Amino acid sequence: MIAFFFSLTALGAVAGGALLAFTIFGSQSAPQQAAGAAMALGLAVIPYIFSRCIQIAISEGNRRDENQRLLDRLDALTKAVSASGRPEN
């Protein structure tokens, strides 16, 4: 899933670069250049934002799972120490 969105990001960056080049060389005025540059920026940035959001959501889920595993291990260790009769510090 991440690979698909990063491929989409790369495609958006290439399309944005092409649009920017066509805008710079084909426009007649500064407002046309500004509008073309804004559209090119949107083509490159918006897919990148989606890709990063998905990547962060997946890594957040993995982090949450790892934290739960660590808490389970800590609980098991605490029970083992208390069952052995040794005082806790």
Q: How far apart are CA 49 and CA 57, in angstroms?
A: 12
Model-level pTM?
A: 0.65
Give the pLDDT confidence of 3-29 residue by residue, as tens digits.
Answer: 898 899 999 999 999 999 999 999 999
Cα torsion 46, 47, 49, 52 to 10°: value is 180
Q: Is the pLDDT of residue 83 over 90?
A: no
Q: How far apart are CA 52 and CA 46, in angstroms?
A: 10
Containing structural domain, residue 27: 2-83
Query: Do the domain assignments include residue 89?
Result: no
Please count the structural domains in the chain: 1
Query: Do the domain assignments include residue 88?
Result: no
* Nearest of 62, 52, 66 to residue 2 by alpha carbon: 52
